[in-house]
Amino acid sequence: MGESFQEVRDWLIAHLRPGMQVENWSRAAELGKSRLRVKAFTIASEPSRLGIMVESQGTRGPRLVRWQDLKEVWEKWEPYKAGLVKRKDLFADNVNTTYAIALLHFYEVNQ
């Protein structure tokens, strides 16, 4: 994973484009312990200074994944992947956890 969150953020800004599909990912699904309800989401617009706008099947429209939300998941990324931190503990009140996990995984496999 990036040396700093700024490195991850800069890479995502440089590589995400409107209309791109990002596959959802979770540690549990990879281990066969759960299934992903929605397989992917779409980048709705160019990343901005506030975050990344995404759209997903079954939602009421675009949703902003704030950089701060992503950073809080990034800070626990390695322990999460190792099974030391549960998904529910990544961020106390983050409705964007699914998107943050998928975006960090996208970065990791594509950078």
DSSP-derived secondary structure for the chain: --SSHHHHHHHHHHH--TT-EEE---HHHHTTS---SS-EEEE-S---SSEEEEE-TTSSS-EEEEHHHHHHHHTTHHHHHTTSS-GGGS-TT-TTHHHHHHHHHHHHHH-
What is the span of the domain harbouring residue 46? 5-110
Q: What would the pLDDT profile of 44-92 be if each residue is shown by its tens digit?
A: 999 999 999 999 887 788 999 999 999 999 999 999 888 898 887 877 6
Number of domains in the chain: 1
pTM above 0.85, yes or no: yes
Q: Comparing 1 with 111, which gets the higher pLDDT?
A: 111
